Structure 1
Amino acid sequence: MAEQKAQPVIWARPRPSRGPAPKITLEELARHAIEIADEEGIDGLTMRRLGAGLGRGTMSVYRQIQSKSDLIDLMLDEAVGEIELVSHDTWREGLHWLGHTIRDHALRHPWMLMLLNEGPYFGPKGIGYTEHVLGLMSELDLPIDEIMLAIGLVNSYARGFARQEVAQTRRLAEVGLTVEEWMRLNSGYVRGLLESGKYPQFNRVIIEAEQPHMVQDEAFEYGLQRVLNGVAAGLPGAS
């Protein structure tokens, strides 16, 4: 089988000029695909499933896009386009908004957590989002590399926190338990670990620590503030 020739991103390709006009737009395709991925996960999204959900055959989807990779690009762009871009008076307020926005958006569309780090992303709505985010620290007149690194720290923290939340929710859903039920189910095992005396630091976590019992929103805010403190300490002119 001949290798498929690499092509530029879907937005850089000319739209077909022959034949009847498509009955559904790329944005509509993307929105319907997002609904499927939100409900069934990205593995549940196939071109056949998408076509059936739209009341069309698989080939009608392929007349619009050439591959699932194109579809993923369109979905990411459409999903990022949902974010309301808000201006802020200071860089810290801006990065605080960014952290919460990334986490909230990831929890709304968990499938995005697996896809956003796979490679370059240049959708038109995504570019608008990126332009806005890079401008959150413009008041500091810093080199663009410093701005990108600072924003990357917030991105990594927020996505990592959301990824852990999604994984925990999925794991508990698989066994049909709430967090409290899971803890009660395993309380005897944990008690044995405590009584063994072999794990003094683990004992401290169970007996003394507040963090494991914090509401997720509170735990996220606690960590985000410390990330922002680290950014402030490392950037000249940031306070």
Structure 2
Amino acid sequence: MSVEFLWHERPKPARGPKPALTLDRIADAAIAIADAEGLAAVSMQRVAADLGYTKMSLYRYLPGKAELVAAMLERGIGPAPDLSDRPWRAALTAWATTLLGRYFGHAWSLEASTGNRAIGPVELSWMESALKVLPDGLTGGERMDAIATIAGHVRAIAAQKGGEEQLTAAMTLVLREHADRFPAVAAALADAGAPDQAFTFGLDRILDGLEVLLERRV
């Protein structure tokens, strides 16, 4: 996969009419398809047709579908939030909450951001912004692992959007008649709060662990 097109701006023609298409316009058309029908529905042919162009027209802007998906991810996830002038815990909470919202906005981005793929400047800027707010006291590997753990938690919650509420409803239904067989589940469920608290709870525990680790090293 070629990633150069993600990292270098195309030179603008000095003369003549402006190009009819742009990489952003192509990516936006592909995103609209993926938002409505899923990533599998995206193809060079489909995007070109939706834009009113031939498939070959798109190859002037990117090599193929893998690169198209990379461009979609850059465009769909968008820039990281401004974390300046915030304590590190508040900054990482804002980072994780914003990322979760971006995943919720484009469910296909979870699939698009896995496996062997191209990494663009926007995606790398998310890593940069998070690493910059971590306090001193961690090794380079620990800093990378800390962000990977937070990002993994965000992805896990994004992947089960709506699923936790459905699971709670299903368990509540069967426990009406079988609570005596699963008393621990029934007790925990009866005392549980809103089903969407897993994100905040998990993130806070990750940050608590980092804080304890840093305090031990003082």
TM more than 0.5: yes
Q: Deviations over 1:100-149 (max 9, x none)?
A: 11211110111111121223543122233332222111x41532212111
Q: Which runs of 5+ in 1 are unaligned?
A: 1-5, 170-177
Aligned to 2:60: 63
Describe the shift of the 1:22–1:141 C-alpha distance in structure 2 as closer, same or farther (beyond 3 A). Answer: farther
Kept in 1, the 8 Å contact 2:96–2:151? The answer is yes
Describe the shift of the 1:186–1:113 C-alpha distance in structure 2 as closer, same or farther (beyond 3 A). Answer: same
Aligned-partner Cα distance in 2 for 1:185–1:143: 43
Aligned to 2:199: 220
Aligned to 2:100: 103
Aligned-partner Cα distance in 2 for 1:160–1:222: 13
Aligned length: 215
Q: Choose the corresponding residue for 1:201, options 184, 191, 195.
A: 184
Kept in 2, the 8 Å contact 1:30–1:74? The answer is yes
Q: What amino acid is aligned across from residue 114 of structure 1 in structure 2?
A: E
Aligned-partner Cα distance in 1 for 2:72–2:217: 36
Describe the shift of the 1:202–1:12 C-alpha distance in structure 2 as closer, same or farther (beyond 3 A). Answer: closer
Aligned-partner Cα distance in 1 for 2:69–2:6: 13
Q: Choose the corresponding residue for 2:146, options 150, 159, 173.
A: 150
Aligned to 1:3: none
Aligned to 1:23: 20
User: What secondary structure sits across from 1:140 in the alignment?
Assistant: coil
Q: What amino acid is aligned across from residue 73 of structure 2 in structure 1?
A: L
Kept in 1, the 8 Å contact 2:27–2:75? The answer is yes
1:229 aligned onto 2:217: no
Give, in angstroms, the shift of residue 84 of structure 1: 3.4
Identity of aligned residues (%): 27
Describe the shift of the 1:133–1:238 C-alpha distance in structure 2 as closer, same or farther (beyond 3 A). Answer: farther
Describe the shift of the 1:190–1:117 C-alpha distance in structure 2 as closer, same or farther (beyond 3 A). Answer: same
Task: State the TM-score, normalizing by the size of structure 2.
Answer: 0.81
Describe the shift of the 1:88–1:79 C-alpha distance in structure 2 as closer, same or farther (beyond 3 A). Answer: farther
Q: Which runs of 5+ in 2 are unaligned?
A: none
1:163 aligned onto 2:159: yes
Task: State the TM-score, normalizing by the size of structure 1.
Answer: 0.75
Give, in angstroms, the shift of residue 204 of structure 1: 2.3
